[in-house]
Amino acid sequence: LVYLGAKRLVAAQRRLPLPAVPHAGAHAFRTGLAIALTNPQLAAFFVSFLPHFIDPLRGSTSLQFLELGLTFNACSFMVMSSIGIGTGIAHHADLGGARLGQVMRAVSGTAFIAVAAWSTWKLLR
């Protein structure tokens, strides 16, 4: 993490904008969909968290599980769609540019180094 953080901080010193990737939207969507469908963390979340909200006295537990899952997915879809639309608008309005890229690289580099320091401190404690 320290190496990745230092690499990001060095990259933040450059004022070059990130290169544009043609057709990145479709590729990003396919990649995100594949990751989401094969992510075991999501399955573990549903199996461990949702049963606490299922009441066998209220009817079919399978239907309750399905209702809670669909509600979760609908809420996630609205949040992620808002983020996607907002990023698309910012991209087409050319908000940010090279300076925002520099700031984001510096923030992420600092975050990597901070997480490395915190986890090392916790491990050695």
What pTM was estimated for this model as a whole? 0.54
- CB-based contacts of 54, cutoff 8 Å, min separation 6: 61, 64, 65, 68
pLDDT confidence of residue 119: 93
Q: Output Rg (C-alpha) for the chain, integer angstroms.
A: 21
pLDDT tens-digit readout, 27-80: 888 888 888 888 888 788 888 888 889 999 999 999 998 998 899 889 989 998
Predicted local distance difference test score (pLDDT) of residue 30: 87
pLDDT the model gives residue 51: 87
Position 95 scores a pLDDT of 61
pLDDT of amino acid 22: 67
Q: Which long-range contacts (CB under 8 A, 24 or more apart) does 82-89 make?
A: none
Q: Model confidence over 65-103: pLDDT tens digits?
A: 899 889 988 998 999 899 888 877 877 766 666 677 788
pLDDT category of residue 3 using cuts at 50, 70 and 90 = very high
